[in-house]
Amino acid sequence: MTTTTTSPADADRALKAKHRALWALGDYPAVATEVIADLGPTLVTASAITPGDRVLDVAAGSGNAAIPAALAGAQVVASDLCPELLDVGRRAAGVAGATLEWREADAEALPFANGQFDAVLSCVGAMFAPHHRATADELVRVCRPGGTIGLISWTPAGFIGQMFATMKPYAPPPPPGAQPPPLWGDEAHVRALLGDRVTQFTAQRRMLRVTRFATPEAFRDFFKTAYGPTIATYAFNGDDPRRIADLDRDLADLARRHDLGGGAMDWEYLLVTARRVSAG
């Protein structure tokens, strides 16, 4: 009898392949353009991007922050693990008249030189890489001394953080060592990740007003067909109609609790900006 073991490198490749497939599910670009479109320009403005800046957007998806940065005159590289999202971004950039580079890349092992960029941004993207310390190390490494790191992440207590909490009982267990994405929306967690490698650290809790969904059920039905993590959670329960019905109910109830009237909701996020400390 022979046994096989999986090396850490093989396990990591398998995990990243799973993440790549997850974000190719559904229609995340529709989420980016129809629901959270304001976040990218907000991050670009908060990070004070100016013409000529060398900017890296990490886990850029279809370019929610990368395209506004390019339209502001920056020299932008949009990187993401999922090539399908990059393809959508290329087309969107062409329509918008934005010129930028699109690169397939892992947020935990970026293929860029130390200090290559004046600003390193991520808009609800890098937070989904499974290993937070490795991701933070890369964000800092590729930012030049004195450069800007700008992040927008969903908070644990906000709507999307609560959506993940709602889905957790229905979802498969996370891979060993993977950390919950909404931790990036906790100021203390981000401060600890970046540590003394940055200065001028600021963190603001803000609200995104979402008016895309007329009813709680409309939110649920949109996310169960467009948003990769939600699609994957439903698929995990695909042979159990009772659990599917319970998940349908719980997601609609979540949206109902956050309804401000007329279908409007406020989704909390954390906006972080910091400067990488100068050498010496």
Number of H helices and E strands in the chain, helices first, is 11, 7
User: In the chain, what percentage of residues exceed pLDDT 70?
Assistant: 97
Please tell me the pTM assigned to this model. 0.95
Give 6's pLDDT tier (boundaries 50, 70, 90): low
Amino acid 161: pLDDT: 98
pLDDT of residue 7: 75
Q: What percent of the chain has pLDDT over 90?
A: 90
Confidence of residue 3 (pLDDT cuts 50, 70, 90): low
What whole-number distance in Å separates Cα of residue 66 and Cα of residue 53?
12
Structure confidence at residue 10 (pLDDT): 81
Q: 164-183: per-residue pLDDT in tens?
A: 999 999 999 988 889 999 99
Residues paired with 271 in a beta bridge? 152, 204
Q: Is the dihedral of CA 199, 128, 91, 116 positive or negative?
A: positive
Domain definitions of the chain by residue range: 11-209+265-276
The yes/no answer on whether domain 11-209+265-276 falls in CATH 3.50.50.60 is no
Convert the pLDDT of each residue in 232-276 to its tens digit: 999 999 989 999 999 999 999 999 999 999 999 999 999 999 999
The residue ranges of DSSP E strands in 12-74, in sequence order, are 54-57
Q: pLDDT category, 11, cuts 50, 70, 90? A: confident
CA 271 to CA 255: how far, in whole Å?
23
| Structure confidence by residue, pLDDT tens digits, 107-148 | 999 999 999 999 999 999 999 999 999 999 999 999 999 999
pLDDT attached to residue 5:
63
What is the pLDDT at residue 280? 45
Averaged pLDDT for residues 70-78: 98
Tell me the pLDDT of the chain averaged across its residues.
95
**Does residue 188 surpass a pLDDT of 70?**
yes
Report pLDDT for 2: 52
Query: Which pLDDT does position 243 carry in this prediction?
Result: 98
Phi and psi torsions of 177, nearest 5°:
90, -10
Note the pLDDT tens digit of each residue in 80-104: 999 999 999 999 999 999 999 999 9
pLDDT of residue 126: 98
Q: Does residue 9 have a pLDDT over 90? A: no
**φ and ψ at residue 186, rounded to 5 degrees:** -100, 120
